[in-house]
């Protein structure tokens, strides 16, 4: 089981930010188990859409506000009630456990230590291409070593050139200055060429968010049909991941034995989690 997540949403200067983080850490410590604490800067324009619209501070347990009832109607503001208490966060954790026992450490044969993670998203950069190549060989499934990439014509140099020319638009997730996941697409064809996330950062929404941002960019370039290739086997992580996000099989298998999925979008691009499929 992957660690569950607690998000602490604040912005610099919020007088209750430290109290909210302390409450979350205390509750996590008391509850125990493999729980990730993710700090989110509400002033960052690049945060995922589903984290926008909350007042500061907000603590989310399993993406649910532990103190619901206050919103900002599209702006950024302070929570009138201040920071939630550690007891509120603990009760939310217990509620999550009641709905899904996998939240509890006793259900995890190899618990991960709790830690704080700050995710940041931005477009890919040519100078980081060697890092992208190295990461591609470290994924949990379908890893490609540098030599294997070179055998199909992909090197740090060609990757950097694609980003620099605009032919390979993509977005990355950065933690503590290091790239932990990315997605890149083909400007001309509308193909999602690669989605890769380091194993220790799976389950945090990294793959979903970099895919959404890259798909957004391809649609903005005029594409109304996006496609990608992935494993045709249901036991593969990618099989359920893409289908959950609305991608559908074309019924075709490419030359590498992968299934081709597509996402046909309307001109309106409105849903926060990804494209809106045409009916």
pLDDT of residue 235: 81
pLDDT of residue 200: 84
Q: What are phi and psi of 61, to 5 degrees?
A: -110, 115
pLDDT of residue 108: 42
DSSP 78: B
pLDDT of residue 74: 52
Neighbouring CB atoms inside 10 A of 140's CB total 12
Q: Which residues contact 158 (CB under 8 A, 6 or more apart)?
A: none
Neighbouring CB atoms inside 10 A of 153's CB total 7
CA atoms within 13 A on the CB side of 184: 19
pLDDT of residue 113: 44
Q: What are phi and psi of 259, to 5 degrees?
A: -85, 140
Neighbouring CB atoms inside 10 A of 251's CB total 7
pLDDT of residue 75: 58
Query: Is the pTM value of this prediction over 0.95?
Result: no
Q: What are phi and psi of 201, to 5 degrees?
A: -115, 15
pLDDT of residue 244: 83
Residues of the chain with pLDDT under 70: 1-3, 33, 70-75, 101-116, 266-279
How high is the mean pLDDT of the chain? 84
pLDDT tens-digit series, residues 166-203: 999 999 999 989 999 999 999 999 999 999 999 888 87
Q: In what order do the strands lie in the sheet with 4-10?
A: 64-65, 58-61, 4-10, 35-41, 115-117
User: Considering only CA atoms, which of 119, 97, 100, 98 is closest in space to residue 32?
Assistant: 97
């Amino acid at each position: 089981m992957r660690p569950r997540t607690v998000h602490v949403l604040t912005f610099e200067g919020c007088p209750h930010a430290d109290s909210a983080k302390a409450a979350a850490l205390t509750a996590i410590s008391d509850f125990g188990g493999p729980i990730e604490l993710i700090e989110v800067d509400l002033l960052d324009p690049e945060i995922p859409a589903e984290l926008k619209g909350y007042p500061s501070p907000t603590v989310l347990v399993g993406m649910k506000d532990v103190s619901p009832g206050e919103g900002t109607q599209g702006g950024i503001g302070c929570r009138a009630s201040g920071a939630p208490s550690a007891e509120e966060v603990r009760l939310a954790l217990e509620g999550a456990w009641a709905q899904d026992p996998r939240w509890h450490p006793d259900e995890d044969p190899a618990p991960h230590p709790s830690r704080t993670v700050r995710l940041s998203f931005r477009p890919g950069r040519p100078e980081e291409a060697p890092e992208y190549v190295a990461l591609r060989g470290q994924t949990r499934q379908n890893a490609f070593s540098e030599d294997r990439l070179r055998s199909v014509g992909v090197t740090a140099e060609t990757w950097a050139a694609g980003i620099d020319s605009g032919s390979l638009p993509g977005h990355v997730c950065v933690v503590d200055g290091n790239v932990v996941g990315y997605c890149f697409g083909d400007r001309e064809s509308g193909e999602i060429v690669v989605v890769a996330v380091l194993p220790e950062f799976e389950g945090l929404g990294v793959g979903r968010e970099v895919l959404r941002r890259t798909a957004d960019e391809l649609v903005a370039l005029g594409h109304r049909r996006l496609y990608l290739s992935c494993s045709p086997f249901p036991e593969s992580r990618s099989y359920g991941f893409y289908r959950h996000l609305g991608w559908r099989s074309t019924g075709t298998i490419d030359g590498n034995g992968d299934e081709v999925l597509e996402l046909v979008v309307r001109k309106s691009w409105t849903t926060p989690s990804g494209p809106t499929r045409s009916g």
